[in-house]
Amino acid sequence: MNITAIEIKNLSFNYGKLKVIDDVSLEIAKGISFGLLGSNGAGKTTLIRLMVGLLKPKTGSVFCLGKPPSPATARNIGYMPQLPSLYSELTVYQNIDFFARIYGLRAHNTRNQRVDEVIKLVDLWPKKNVSVSQLSGGMKQRVSLACAIVHNPPLLFLDEPTVGLDPELRVHFWEYFGNLTAAGHTLIVSSHTMDDAAHCQKLIFMREGKVIALGTPDELRGAVGKPNTTLEDAFLYFIRHGEVKSHVQ
């Protein structure tokens, strides 16, 4: 049985002359939460788009659940883009129901049951029949998450899922993400906050399209070699000391 969810070899990508992903190689095991950490413009979103198949690599390769990304692999993937990306005229229910249908939940009863289930899960039951345009930013994020998970995918890509969420909701999201990985799902989460990083079982630090460090949060903190090091300290350490990922691999 293949235990790798994502396999990336010598991946590079550029927009025109701007190199956005620079020779990235990476393996992500199944059943963990994996963080892509970096400041804005580090290449996190582009890397996710390459893994999902929205972008084609200029050089190198991406294997998603053992195959190059395609509409066939997409059925097993959930994707939550950085922006809420919802149909603002439609209700919460209609948005989630649409994505449930697109991902192959055809049987009426099963689909209805699952849509109701995820609406409750993201705590939006009272807003079920409200237009998305009338929701707050945090609520839209929740609907967006619900659309990504409605088909119960084994592999989930979440691009900055906690942006705009209040601290309570952020905790709620991470509790749910923890439940998903415990159930064997793989989560790939991008973020620029160290609070999110601490929740990941494994993560990379990215800068200017390169992976500058890879390891568990403890390994990354430990690589600094000082007591009481935070992940933020570790991130700054790796940025200042260049590409030293071999320290923690």
Partner 1 sequence: MFSNIITIARRSIQQLVRDRRTIALIIVVPLVIASLIGVSLPNKAVLNQTLPALLAVLILFFGFLLSGISFLRERSQGTRERLMASPVSRGDIIFGYLLGFLLFAILQTLVLFFYTVYIIKIDFMGDLWQIIIFQILIGILAVCLGIFLSAFARNEFQMVQFIPLIIIPQVFICGVLFPVNTQPEWLQWIAKFLPLTYGVDGIKAMMLEGKGLLDIGKEIAVLASYAVVLMALAGISLRRGHVA
Asked whether position 120 contacts partner 1 by CB under 8 A, the answer is no
Distance CA 212, CA 244 (A): 6
Q: Which residues does 166 contact at the CB level (< 8 Å), separation at least 6?
A: 138
Q: Number of residues in contact with partner 1, rule: CB under 8 A?
A: 33
Distance CA 237, CA 241 (A): 6
Q: Which of 9, 87, 169, 171 binds partner 1 (CB under 8 A)?
A: 87
- In the complex with partner 1, which residue's Cβ is closer, 24 or 155? 155
Q: CA distances (Å), 127 to each of 15, 154, 209, in order?
A: 40, 27, 40
Asked whether position 4 contacts partner 1 by CB under 8 A, the answer is no
CB of 94 to partner 1, least distance (A): 6
Asked whether position 94 contacts partner 1 by CB under 8 A, the answer is yes
Does residue 153 contact residue 177 with C-beta atoms inside 8 Å?
Answer: no
Distance CA 225, CA 108 (A): 57
CB of 19 to partner 1, least distance (A): 15
Does residue 69 contact residue 51 with C-beta atoms inside 8 Å?
Answer: yes
Asked whether position 101 contacts partner 1 by CB under 8 A, the answer is yes
Does residue 160 contact residue 168 with C-beta atoms inside 8 Å?
Answer: no
Asked whether position 103 contacts partner 1 by CB under 8 A, the answer is yes
Asked whether position 169 contacts partner 1 by CB under 8 A, the answer is no
Asked whether position 54 contacts partner 1 by CB under 8 A, the answer is yes
Asked whether position 102 contacts partner 1 by CB under 8 A, the answer is yes
The interface with partner 1 within residues 13-52 (CB under 8 A) comprises 15, 49, 52
CB of 14 to partner 1, least distance (A): 12
- In the complex with partner 1, which residue's Cβ is closer, 52 or 200? 52
Alpha helices in 122-166, H assignment, sequence order: 137-149
Pairing status of strand 18-29 against strand 4-15: antiparallel
CB of 154 to partner 1, least distance (A): 14
Asked whether position 131 contacts partner 1 by CB under 8 A, the answer is yes
Q: In the sheet where 155-159 sits, what is the strand order?
A: 77-80, 155-159, 186-191, 33-38, 202-207, 210-215
Strand, helix or coil for residue 103: coil
CB of 54 to partner 1, least distance (A): 4
Asked whether position 106 contacts partner 1 by CB under 8 A, the answer is yes
Binding site for partner 1 (CB under 8 A): 15, 49, 52-56, 70-72, 74-75, 77, 79, 81, 83-90, 94, 98-99, 101-104, 106, 131, 147
